[in-house]
Structures are given as structure tokens and as C-alpha cells.
Amino acid sequence: NAGVTQTPKFQVLKTGQSMTLQCAQDMNHEYMSWYRQDPGMGLRLIHYSVGAGITDQGEVPNGYNVSRSTTEDFPLRLLSAAPSQTSVYFCARRTSWQDTEAFFGQGTRLTVV
Amino acid sequence: KNEVEQSPQNLTAQEGEFITINCSYSVGISALHWLQQHPGGGIVSLFMLSSGKKKHGRLIATINIQEKHSSLHITASHPRDSAVYICAVRSRDSNYQLIWGAGTKLIIKP
């Protein structure tokens, strides 16, 4: 799992429900990020964190919240799910923000009905 | 226009063929990254390069910084190479974020 554990692997939500996608890494890496992957498009950055207590928005942050209370965990929260959030979500870690090489979790396939 | 363009979008070939996947980008970069995504969904890193050429087994990646172009080659292709191959660049212009291509879906038939 490249040192990144994502849960759940699959999830179906009803419109308006909330949920948290979990992401944990065991490499003590500073940089973690969440992406969404949609058909025919490249991965799009939702939020990222350069260390515990520090988060920032990516390209498509609307509808998502994150927090980074520890180095290990970087959960992604959907407060009120919408069908437009149907996607595959990936969490990734990098040693630091300067590094390019990223290690990805297995992904979460989310369907909002 | 996307900042990272991959071609072709889809490629089907016979086992044993030499495969080339292309990646062109329009931003200033510090590095380019090739990744592989298998049908199960997991994404793994293949190469990071900022100049020249890298080789790992049957995979070869090249980059031409002046032309803003990279290629991923697979020699003696095998059905297990079937996957989506993704190019990503580390942009100097966007706070060193990764900008992703849409991927090339490769199918190798036995």
C-alpha cells in the first residue's frame, strides 16, 4: 500500500449525507494530499498539507474539508455530499513538498446518489 | 488547453510490440513523473526525471526539456503491462504542485 492506507475502498452516499475518508501514512512524511480522479481527466488536487497543523486548498477544494492534527493522519470530510462528488479519491504522501515522487493509497470509489 | 497533454488516449497492441506513450507540457517544470495505474486502481511511481533518459527493465523514459516533451517506451510488451500510464509534471509556476495528464490506457493483447 506504499505506506498509505485509505479507508473505505468503496462507499455509496445519499445526497446531503456526510462522511470522512480516512488516510494514514506510516512514514512520518510531511506532505500529504488528496486528489480526485474523474473519467477523461487528470488527477485534481483537492487539499494538501505540508505538515501537522498546516493545510491548504488545491485546485478543487469546494465541498471538502481537511485537517492534519498529526503527521500520520489526513482525513477528508464531505459535509454534504453531492452527486458531483462521485469520483475516485486518492490520498498520497511525499517526503516533503519539494519532492516529486508521490506514494498513493489504493483509492476510495465514492458514489453519491 | 490542458497544461499536460498525453497521447494517445487509448492504445491497443499485440504482445511483443514496442510501445510509445507521449507527454507534452506547457509550463516550466522541475521534474516529470511517469506513473502506472492498474485496473485495480492503485497508482505506482515508475520514473521521475528532469533530464535525459532513465531505464528500468523493459521501461524507458526520456525527456527533452527544450521541447517540453517526454516519452515512455515499453519494449517487448506483455499483457501484464496493460494499465493506464499517467504523466505528471512538477510545476515551477504553481508552487511546485503536480499537474497531471489524463492518462493513456494501454491494452496489450496476447
Distances (CA, A) of A10 to A44, A86, A89, A110: 19, 11, 10, 6
Please tell me the distance in Å from A21's CA to the nearest CA on chain B.
16
Residue by residue, pLDDT tens for chain A (113 residues) are: 678 999 999 999 999 999 999 999 988 888 899 999 998 888 899 999 988 999 999 989 999 999 999 999 999 999 999 999 999 999 999 876 666 667 899 999 999 99
- The stretch B3-26 carries a mean pLDDT of 96
In tens, the pLDDT along B69-99 reads 999 999 999 999 999 999 999 888 766 678 8
Closest to A13 (Cα-Cα) out of A80, A106, A105, A77: A80
Q: Are A41 and A61 in contact (CB under 8 A)?
A: no
Return the pLDDT at A99.
67
Partner-chain residue, chosen from A44, A100, A107, that has the shortest CB–CB distance to B90: A100
Paired strand residues for A37:
A88
Contact A107, A6 (CB under 8 A): yes
- B44–A2 CB contact, under 8 Å: yes
Q: Rounded CA gap, A64 and A75, in Å?
A: 10
Q: Which residues of A touch B31 (CB under 8 A)?
A: 100
Q: Helices in chain A by DSSP H: which ranges?
A: none
